[in-house]
Amino acid sequence: MAAFSLFSTAHVTPKPTLHFIKASTSDLPKTSAPPSQPSTQSQQPPLKTRHNIREEARLHNAATTATNHPRFTAKYVPFTAISDPSSSDESYSLDEIVYRSQSGSLLDVHHDMAALKHFDGAYWRNLFDSRVGKTTWPFGSGVWSKKEWVLPEIDDDDIVSAFEGNSNLFWAERLRKMNKPVVGVGCASTGDTSAALSAYCASAGIPSIVFLPANKISMAQLVQPIANGAFVLSIDTDFDGCMQLIREVTAELPIYLANSLNSLRLEGQKTAAIEILQQFDWEVPDWVIVPGGNLGNIYAFYKGFSMCKELGLVDRIPRLVCAQAANANPLYLYYKSGWKEFKPVKANTTFASAIQIGDPVSIDRAVYALQKSNGIVEEATEEELMDAMAQADSTGMFTCPHTGVALTALIKLRRSGVIGPTDRTVVVSTAHGLKFTQSKIDYHSKDIKDMACRYANPPVQVKADFGSVMDVLKKYLLSKSH
């Protein structure tokens, strides 16, 4: 069995990390001495004189005003120009609300790598490591601890964060303020983007609008935006239909789009890759397996890893595997065709409902990431993904069906020898199993048509008398002693 780790982004995914930028910008950690670290307790005023966490940040910033490095900046460029941004004159400020290039291609956030290279890999490793677990705003966040690589010019005061990220690896042994008025933030969702969006909008006091495919997401996913006060539209279509509608609506109304079509969204997601490296003390895993739907994640992981390589924190990047449900597998089919022709599919129902997506927005980004990382695409049938989920749960986790899809890819690639027995493999677990309890109930009740449910563990019905309880217990203990 490969030594693999599960990376859980379960509770607070670094998805729509919403940030609101003022027109003004401020220089960021202005010190040449690594690491530019949050002030210590002794440098801070007594707790009671600090009014709020942002005030504390201001105090910290005042303490670090010396600068002798270039300003860190970033801008939108057409995705088609990412290999050579100088090949295109087209670029946009990150303060602009723009989702597509003039030619209609996706965009990408391009960082001034020369400015970032002012510091070497050791500096960045130390800086990021020194922020883990700290309470200083905003660096206690797994996302904003990498602020210089995410949205360098944002004022700390304008960040909305719940100190997300810093999700632990489990060993498997056992918005910014805009230069256009925006009245709300919207997304189409299969249940998770909407949950994150509604939580952060509620926290920031901004209206959120979510388009959900009616009856295609779990109750637990539906209830979160409802509870967080989002304006929820349950639309009689699938995710791809919702995505099309939100694109049309956000082109007409002052609603900021939080889906990964918005390339700024991916900058937050990218930090999960940096976290993986951090948690391995900057040793690069051989493989990272990511379940794929709208395909923003696979590119975000690639981008995070490749920035770490380019800026000298590591010397290589892992091979990436994108795992899809066989019932919603447009990327897998494209990969199998030798990247000849991409055809969107009508996504069929899958237990991995959050990746029931047939026309992924980030298809071009995913292909780029996979090609650049010598990557692979795998698929999982319903039975395979449910079995894999149940097997993982039986080791003490409580995984979601999408994690089952990624674990199936691991199982298949190990079986075929593509992933070697000593390869270090990280499987990204994208949602908490508690969001998908109905599928687990059906599985453990063996109540799924045409599925053997091999790892079902149904409760034993037993009479309320000592003898009956003893009988079943003895039988159980005997079975365990073999």
Ligand X SMILES: Cc1ncc(COP(=O)(O)O)c(C=O)c1O
Q: Which does 292 bind (CB under 5 to 8 A by kind): ligand LJ64HWYM, ligand X, none?
A: ligand X
User: Per-residue b/e over 354-374, b at no fewer than 16 CB within 10 Å?
Assistant: bbbbbbbbbbbbbbbbbebbe
What is the closest distance, in whole angstroms, from the C-beta atom of residue 324 to ligand LJ64HWYM in the complex?
Answer: 12
- Give me the residues paired with residue 256 across strands: 185
Decide the pairing of beta strands 376-380 and 424-429.
unpaired
Q: Which does 259 bind (CB under 5 to 8 A by kind): ligand X, ligand LJ64HWYM, none?
A: ligand LJ64HWYM
How far is the CA of 281 from the CAs of 125, 132, 278, 464, in angstroms?
Answer: 9, 13, 5, 53
Based on the shown chain and the rule CB under 6 A, indicate whether residue 238 belongs to the binding site for ligand LJ64HWYM: no
What kind and span of H or E run contains 222?
Answer: helix 219-227
Q: Which residue has the tokens 């401020």?
A: 26
Structure tokens at 184: 């709300």
Binding mask 166-205 for ligand X (x = CB under 6 A): ------------------------x-x-------------
What is the closest distance, in whole angstroms, from the C-beta atom of residue 293 to ligand LJ64HWYM in the complex?
Answer: 5
* Angstrom distance (rounded) from CA 437 to CA 218: 9
Query: Binding ligand X by CB under 6 A: which of 6, 106, 209, 295?
Result: 295
What kind and span of H or E run contains 247?
Answer: helix 239-252
What kind and span of H or E run contains 125?
Answer: helix 121-131
Structure tokens at 169: 């690896």
Query: Binding ligand X by CB under 6 A: which of 297, 327, 329, 350?
Result: 297
| Residues that contact ligand X, how many (by CB under 6 A) | 16
Query: Binding ligand X by CB under 6 A: which of 431, 432, 433, 439?
Result: 431
Residues contacting residue 89 through CB under 8 Å, at least 6 positions apart: none
The residue (of 313 and 325) whose beta carbon lies closer to ligand LJ64HWYM is 325
DSSP per position, 370-426: HHHTT-EEEEE-HHHHHHHHHHHHTTT----HHHHHHHHHHHHHHHTTSS-TT-EEE
Based on the shown chain and the rule CB under 6 A, indicate whether residue 208 belongs to the binding site for ligand LJ64HWYM: no
Based on the shown chain and the rule CB under 6 A, indicate whether residue 260 belongs to the binding site for ligand LJ64HWYM: yes
Stretch of 120-128, 156-164, 292-300, 465-473 contacting ligand X, by CB under 6 A: 292-300
Query: Binding ligand LJ64HWYM by CB under 6 A: which of 142, 191, 292, 318?
Result: 191
Query: Binding ligand LJ64HWYM by CB under 6 A: which of 138, 296, 375, 433?
Result: 296
> What is the distance between the terminal CA atoms of the chain, rounded to a whole angstrom?
22
What is the closest distance, in whole angstroms, from the C-beta atom of residue 217 to ligand LJ64HWYM in the complex?
Answer: 8
The residue (of 72 and 79) whose beta carbon lies closer to ligand X is 79
What is the closest distance, in whole angstroms, from the C-beta atom of residue 266 to ligand LJ64HWYM in the complex?
Answer: 8
- Give me the residues paired with residue 443 across strands: none
The residue (of 17 and 260) whose beta carbon lies closer to ligand LJ64HWYM is 260
Name the site residues for ligand X (rule: CB under 6 A).
190, 192, 260, 291-297, 354-355, 400, 402, 430-431
Name the site residues for ligand LJ64HWYM (rule: CB under 6 A).
187, 189-194, 259-260, 293-294, 296, 354, 361
